[in-house]
Amino acid sequence: MSRAVCRVPALALSLCALLPALAGCDSECDDPARIDGQWAVFANATGEDWQVTGFTEDERTAGEEAALLDNIFMNGASTWDIRYTPGRDRYAIDIDGQSFEAEHAADAESCNRIALTLGGIYTSAGGSTHDFDVDAEIVWTGDAFVGSYAYADTWTFDGRDGAIRIPSGQLRGSAGAADTGQ
């Protein structure tokens, strides 16, 4: 009789462990800190509908617009350090050593599809200042993520000001630091 009693709890434990997997649930989904770490991120616009204001046609031709675009982290390589903040249900994201806070939401069908919304003031190594907003959708795969984004900012640079709009872009992240060439 004691043998049968021992089997029931073992069977019950096995079923309890198996049921979440059968239901499509993943225990890692309960841990928003699973994406914590340092990420080498590369971002770029995917369409021709991006816009930059604040330059004359001569300044654009002289490459000043391109120099400004080289300064934004959503255009090229950057390093992101992502840390979940328990109790605040947000992520602290350091981008190239500057701190921001991101709101997040996991997709109802796939917890590794995550919407991130972040904004703040970013000062580039080239001296431009950007008051930015980013809405991104990423799919995290463990040691990498891919996704899309929309970016908008108002900027100041070299005595000028204007705005940047990138309505559609893509980003790719891999574990580790980015080689930004700086």
pLDDT in tens, 67-107: 999 999 999 999 999 999 988 889 999 998 899 999 988 88
The helix or strand, by DSSP H or E, that contains position 111, with its residue range, turns out to be none
Give, as one character, the DSSP assignment of residue 50. Answer: -
Residue 16: pLDDT above 80?
no
Identify the burial level of 66 via C-beta atoms within 10 angstroms of its C-beta, where 0-12 means exposed, 13-18 middle and 19 or more buried. exposed
Angle, vertex CA 31, rays to CA 76 and CA 135, nearest 5: 35
pLDDT in tens, 166-176: 999 999 999 98
Report the percent of the chain where pLDDT is more than 70.
82
First to last CA, the chain: 72
